[in-house]
Structure 1
Amino acid sequence: MPDYRRNRIPGGCYFFTVNLLDRDSDALVVHMDLLRNAVRKVRSRRPFHIDAWVVLPDHMHAVWTLPPGDSDYSGRWRAIKIAFAKALPKTEWRSPRRIAKGERGIWQRRFWEHTIRDEADYAAHVDYVHINPLKHGLVEAVGDWPHSSFHRCVARGVYPGDWGGAGAVVVGHGERGE
C-alpha cells in the first residue's frame, strides 16, 4: 500500500482538491444544499475558516485555515464526505470491494492537499480556486458561476466584479500546477 504523507501544520492554511468517484457525475451541484449542510454541520463541531471554495459538478477546490493548534484537516474532510453521503439516496453503483468494505460509491477515497507556503502561494491558490469554472469551460466569466466564494470576495473588495471575465488567462496553480 502506498505511504501517503501529509504535511500537518497546526493552524496552517491548505489548498484541497476533492473529487467524486464518478467524474461524469454532477452530484455536487445538483445536491448543493446537502453539501452545504454537511459543511455547516462539520464546521459547527470542528471549526475552520473557509478562505476560498468552488464547487464544480464532479469535484471541488478549497483553501482553508485551521484554528491554532489544530492540524486535522483529514478528519474534517472525512466528516464532510460521510455527512454528504449519508444524506444522498443509495442509488450509485458500487464495486464488490466497496461493498465488502461497507463504502458508498460517491467519493474518491483520498484528496489532494497542498500546504500554503506564503502570501504569493496563498494568492495564487485562491485565484486558482476562483478561476476553475472558467478553466473547465463551465462559464464565460468567473462571476457567472454560482457555487463559489468569488462572490463573497467581490463583496469584500478582494476582486473587481469583472475579474476572470472573457479573455482571462488561466494560470497554472492548484494540483500539480494544472
Structure 2
Amino acid sequence: MTDIRRYPPINHPVFITAVCHRRNPVLANDADKELLLTVMREVKKEMPFRVLAYVILDDHFHWLIRMDEGHAFSRILQSVKLRFTHRWKRARNITMPTTLWQRRFWDHIIRDTEDLNLHMDYIHFNPVKHEIVTDPVDYPWSSFHVHQSKDRYPKDWGRKLVPGNIKSMILE
C-alpha cells in the first residue's frame, strides 16, 4: 500500500477526479446524477466548501472546489462517496456490500489563475471529450451553463474542437 501524503491547500482550489469502481456506469441515469448533486449540497452544509466547477459523467466526476479552513478535501470527498453509496443502495434495496467507487482519487492543487482556467476548461469540455455531446452547452450535468451566463465562455466555446490549452491534459 502506498503512503499518499495530502497537503492542505491553504487558499488554493483543488481539482478532483473521482472514478466509479472498474469504470462501471453507476451515474448513468439522471436520477443518480441528481442524487450525487444532492449529496454534494448536503455535505457542503456540514463541511463548508465552494464549488467552482463540476461535471458528472456516467462513470466519474470532476470537481474544482475551495475548502474553508479546517476542512480537508479528502474528508469531504469521502463523505460524498459514502453518503451517495448508502443512498444509492437504499434506493435499490441492496443490503450486501457493494463497491461503487475506486478507493483513491486524483487531486491537483491549483497554483495560479492560468492553472485554474486550464482545469475549469478541462471540466467543461469533458462531455465533448467523451463524445456524449458535441457542444458543452448541450450537457446539463455541469457548471458550464453558470459560467457561460457570466460571460466566462463565448457562445461557441468547445463546440466539436478541443480548446488548444487542454489538448494534452489527461486527468482521469
Kindly indicate whether the alpha-carbon contact (under 8 Å) linking 2:128 and 2:160 is maintained by their aligned counterparts in 1: no
Match of 1:172 in 2: 168
Rounded to whole Å, the distance in 2 between the matches of 1:174 and 1:77 is 21
Alpha-carbon distance change, 39 to 108 in structure 1, aligned in 2, over 3 angstroms: same
What secondary structure does 1:88 align onto?
helix
Correspondence for 2:52: 51
Paired residues of 1:128 and 1:171 also in contact (CA < 8 A): no
CA distance in 1, matches of 2:24, 2:62: 17
For structure 2, the residue ranges without an aligned partner over 5 or more in a row are none
Residues in 2 aligned to 1:62 and 1:173: alpha-carbon distance in whole angstroms: 15
Alignment of 1:10-29 (within 5 A): 10-27=10-27, 29=29
Between the two proteins, the alignment pairs up a number of residues equal to 168
| Partners of 1:7 and 1:173 in 2: CA distance | 23
Unaligned runs of 5+ in 1: 94-98
Give the structure-2-normalised TM-score: 0.87
- Cα RMSD (Å): 2.3
Query: Aligned partners of 2:154, 2:78: CA distance in 1, in Å?
Result: 34
Of the structure 1 ranges 48-57 and 22-31, higher mean CA displacement relative to structure 2 is found in 22-31
Per-residue deviation, residues 45-80 of structure 1 (Å, max 9, x unmatched): 11111111000100011111112x335001100110
Task: Please show how residues 95-174 of structure 1 align to structure 2 within 5 Å.
Answer: 104-169=98-163, 171-173=167-169
Separation of aligned partners in 1, 2:130 and 2:112: 27
Structure 1 residues 6-60: Cα deviation after superposition (integer angstroms, max 9, x where no partner):
2322332110100000314142544122111110110011111111100010001
1:82–1:24 Cα change, 3 Å:
closer
Q: Classify 1:48/1:19 alpha carbon distance in 2 versus 1 (closer, same or farther; 3 Å).
A: same
Distance 2:29 2:157 in 1: 23
Report the identity percentage. 33
Runs of 4+ off more than 6 Å: none
1:156 deviates by 1.1
Provide the C-alpha distance between the structure 2 equivalents of 1:56 and 1:23, rounded to a whole number of angstroms.
Answer: 11
